[in-house]
Structure formats: structure tokens, C-alpha cells
Structure 1
Amino acid sequence: MTRSIPDTERPNLERRRLLVGLGFLGAAGIAAARMPSEKIDYLGKKKLEDIIPKQIGSWKFETASGLVIPPEDQLSNALYSQLLTRVYSNEKGAPIMLLVAQSGSQTGVLQIHRPEVCYPAGGFSLSPVTSLNIDVGGRTLTTNNLQAVGDQRVEQIVYWTRIGNHLPPSWAQQRWAVARDNLAGKIPDAILVRVSTIDNDRGAANAILANFTRDLLQSMAPNDRKILVGPA
């Protein structure tokens, strides 16, 4: 049975409904005011193919194949605005593999893949991730360093991610960087840079990867360099 509302209670009920409605309206207004609108996009209309040199120190571009890349599904297709893969070689040692993935806007819904996702999907087992600091001329770049072991090869990996003006080392910090910028009204772009080589000797390989990373950044124009590592 439906209880009828006495006339004496109707004014209070209407006031409660009004207050609830105003509360929802206020919350919607705050949410709209906080919607991110300022874009951080250092790449803009440029192409990764054009800003990454094909000659990096003593290394020369050889091919675009042979790298471990994210699975080609609908999610990974939506993640990246641009994806560049290259293999460089010189006369001194094993080839260097470079992957640069760019996403034009990070709103927290999509996150760029990290090697911790890509390599296990390709059948590799991974070592714990450690930090590797690289002197890149006037600043220290803190990168992530790990080893991937597969059936056919052992790959040593150095990588970092840039989210807007941040270089978050971990997955959690990457997500927090996106959330912090979104709350500040900003939509950050995102870059993942991965440099790797096939070598069982992790120490020797890391020294080579550090040299390649240093040469990569120094060979780029200053305005293009911040696409990979943000402003100095």
C-alpha cells in the first residue's frame, strides 16, 4: 500500500528534493570546470620518422623489423598516435633496437604499454626492474633497466616514459602523473622510449645502451629533444 504524504510534510519534502537537485547541479558544475582542456603535445604535427636521426653517433639505421612490439589489438591501436621501430648497427658490436611510441592525449582512460606488458606477451621472462642513470649532457636521465630472457635470445633493455612534463619511473607514478595533470586542467601527451640490444652480458650491454641513448639525444635538435625527455 502506498502511504499518502500529509500536507504538513510536503514543504519539507520539496525542500529536500530542491537541495538534492542543487547538490547534483553543483557537482556537475565542478566536474565540468575541472574537465581538462589545456593540451601538452610536444610532438604536434611532427613525425617521429623525421625527428629521430638515421645516423646516431657511430650507429646507422639498418631496418625497421625484428623488435618486440605491443600486441596488435584494438587497445594497442587506440593507445598510439605514432609508433617508430628501428634497428641501428655499427662495426663494434650487436645491433641496437629503438622503439618510440607516442600517444597524443593521456586522460587516464588509456595507458601506454610498458615492456613489462609487451615482453611477457611475447613469451619472455623478465628480471626485476632497476634504475639506470645516464648522463645525457648537462642532466641526468633516470631510466628503467631490465633483462628479458626468451627461447632464442637474451635482451637487455633501457626505457623511460614521459607524460607531459613528467618522467615517471613506475606504472603507478605514470598513472598519478596523468591524474595530476588532468586535475590541473591539462591533457598531457605521452612518449615511451625503449632502447635494447641482444647480449648475455648485462653490464657491458648497459654501457652500450647508455652511450647510444646519450648519442641519440645529442644528435637531435633541441626543440625535438624535449619530445623524448621533456624540457630541461
Structure 2
Amino acid sequence: MSFIRKHGVVLGGALFVLAAGWLFVQPEPKLQNKLDLSVIPMEYAGYYGRDIDITDVPIEEQLAPQAILFRDYEKGGDRPITLCLVYNYARRSRSFHDPHVCYPAQGFKLRQLPSRVINVGGMDVTAHVMIAEKNHQESMIVYWYMSGDKPLEERGGREGFLKAAVMSRLRRDLGVSNMVRVSTPILYGEETAFEQLHSFLKAYFPHIRKVRADVAQEPMPARRLWTSGPAGKAGVVLMLILPLALVAVSLAKPKESGSG
């Protein structure tokens, strides 16, 4: 009894925090289906696609994504446009595949350009734009992040996009997020390369938005127990009351023994 009186506040407080943390934390949503990327056509609007072999690229091991699409598209005599989509489910992935990390890791030098607001498929998105240079060849890169089928809009540049994505995950209100990235070699000036990428995105972004995730959100443990019946209700009450009882016992003044 002396141990409880001496350490009951700390012990009871710790047990209460642990119990409340388990009972009232929203579980991570569960993905019910495998993401179907076949809705993104190989051929459309004069573009012809070819999947890029990424067998030797350790994206799967490094990022643990839910799905990846890595494909070159050609139209007429233009240089290919590379489409890269990386889908991450809830908090199971370890990276957002930030181009500011992956390109330098491959030996590219990056030059950041001002972000551009572009309209793709009837939706305005704020896209990051940058130039990647390697072996005297420059390529233009345009990318942004998505939450579900909507873009993550956040001020503050690249860090803002990542912050919005991370905060969405911490709140667990995000089912599937993804990065949309397109790139092409610069042959006739930066603006021409940008317009080529913009034209491609206007044609293909509506198809990208068709990738759907069936996400199920389970109830909090407290609600699940409470609705399970009398035993569950008792369990919730005991997990919360017993730690508080320890605190109360610790704080109670011991009875003075009578003299006589």
C-alpha cells in the first residue's frame, strides 16, 4: 500500500494516458483494393506509351510504394515525355519520392524555376518546375502532389507541399497520396518544353484522376468496445477508472490512528 501511496500519481497517470491513447486514437484506414493503373492509357490523343523497365532501380525497396507507373510517351517527332506516378497508401511508405532528392542522387544538377499555376482537366494546380542537367543535356521537370484526386495546395514552395502531405498522414485523414511528375529533354527552349508537358498533362491528367482507392476507416477501439455489448462497456470504463483510482488513493491523506 505504501508503494501505491508513494508512486500512485505517476503510475496512475501513465496508465491513464496509455489507456486513453489506445482507446481514442483513430486507426489507420485500410486499403480494400489494389490500385488499378490500367485506366491510364498507353495510347491517347496521339501519344504512344512504352513502360520503362525499373527492375534495377531500387524504388520498391527504398520507398515501399503502393503502386508505380514509369512510362515514356512519344507524339510525332517530339522527344519523349516521361510520366512518373508514385502512389503511397496512408503511412505505410517511407518517402514521397521528392525529385530534389532522387535527381541529385543520379548525378543531376537542379535549377529551381518559379512555380506555375496550370489548368489540367478543368482543375487548377500549382506545379513545381525545375531544370535537371547532366552531361550537358537539360530536361524540364514539372510535378506536384495529390491527396486522393485533389492536389495538395500549400504555400511555401516545395517544403509546403511536403508539410501538407506529412500533416495529412499524421491526422490519418489521407487514404492514398501520389506524386505526379512529367519530364522531357529541352531542345527548343524552356518555354517550348513547358508547353509540351502542359499539353500532355491536359490530355492525361483526367485519366490519372480515375485511379481510385477503396479505403475503409475502422472505428476507434473505444467505440468498437462500447458497441460490442455490456462486457465491452465495462472494459472501457475499467481502463479509464482504475488508473484514476490509483491517483486518488495516492493523493488521499492517510487516517490518523487514535491515541489511548
Fold conserved (TM > 0.5)? yes
The amino acid across from 1:115 in the alignment is: P
Change (3 A) 1:172 1:29: farther
Q: Is the Cα contact below 8 Å between 2:114 and 2:128 reproduced in 1?
A: yes
Change (3 A) 1:174 1:97: same
TM-score (norm 2): 0.68
Residues 87-126 of structure 1: pairs in structure 2 closer than 5 A: 87-106=72-91, 110-126=94-110
Q: Is the Cα contact below 8 Å between 2:140 and 2:186 reproduced in 1?
A: yes
Q: Is the Cα contact below 8 Å between 1:163 and 1:178 reproduced in 2?
A: no
Deviation by residue 1:162-219 (Cα, 9 ceiling, x = unmatched): 2455515634542443334433x4353221111010015211111111111110023x
CA distance in 2 between counterparts of 1:166 and 1:70 reads 30
Q: In the alignment, is residue 151 of structure 1 matched against residue 144 of structure 2?
A: no
Change (3 A) 1:70 1:120: farther
Which of the residues 188, 198, 219 maps onto 2:175? Answer: 188
CA distance in 1 between counterparts of 2:81 and 2:59 reads 26
Q: Is the Cα contact below 8 Å between 2:152 and 2:164 reproduced in 1?
A: no
Change (3 A) 1:103 1:174: same
Q: CA RMSD in A?
A: 3.1
CA distance in 1 between counterparts of 2:100 and 2:153 reads 15
Q: Is the Cα contact below 8 Å between 1:71 and 1:118 reproduced in 2?
A: no
Q: Which residue of the partner structure matches residue 10 of structure 2?
A: 20
The amino acid across from 1:207 in the alignment is: E
Residues 59-98 of structure 1: pairs in structure 2 closer than 5 A: 59-65=47-53, 72=58, 75-76=61-62, 78-98=63-83
| Deviation of 1:70 (Å) | 10
CA distance in 2 between counterparts of 1:161 and 1:91 reads 29
Between the two proteins, the alignment pairs up a number of residues equal to 208
4+ long deviations beyond 6 Å = none
Change (3 A) 1:190 1:23: same
The amino acid across from 1:26 in the alignment is: F
Deviates further, 116-125 or 144-153:
144-153
**For 1:195, what is the secondary structure of its paired residue?**
strand
Deviates further, 85-94 or 22-31:
22-31
| Deviation of 1:99 (Å) | 0.8
CA distance in 1 between counterparts of 2:204 and 2:60 reads 31
The amino acid across from 1:202 in the alignment is: E
Q: In the alignment, is residue 31 of structure 1 matched against residue 21 of structure 2?
A: yes
Q: Which residue of the partner structure matches residue 210 of structure 1?
A: 198
CA distance in 2 between counterparts of 1:130 and 1:94 reads 24
Task: Give the number of the structure whose alpha-carbon radius of gyration is greater.
Answer: 2
**For 1:85, what is the secondary structure of its paired residue?**
strand
Which of the residues 29, 36, 39 maps onto 1:47? Answer: 36
Q: Which runs of 5+ in 1 are unaligned?
A: 1-9, 228-232
| Deviation of 1:58 (Å) | 2.0
Q: Which residue of the partner structure matches residue 177 of structure 1?
A: 165
Change (3 A) 1:70 1:144: farther
Q: In the alignment, is residue 199 of structure 1 matched against residue 186 of structure 2?
A: yes
The amino acid across from 1:22 in the alignment is: G
Q: In the alignment, is residue 139 of structure 1 matched against residue 123 of structure 2?
A: yes
The amino acid across from 1:72 in the alignment is: P
Q: Is the Cα contact below 8 Å between 2:137 and 2:185 reproduced in 1?
A: yes
Deviation by residue 1:35-60 (Cα, 9 ceiling, x = unmatched): 4425275x932322x12111232211
Higher relative CO (Cα under 8 Å, sequence separation at least 6) belongs to 2
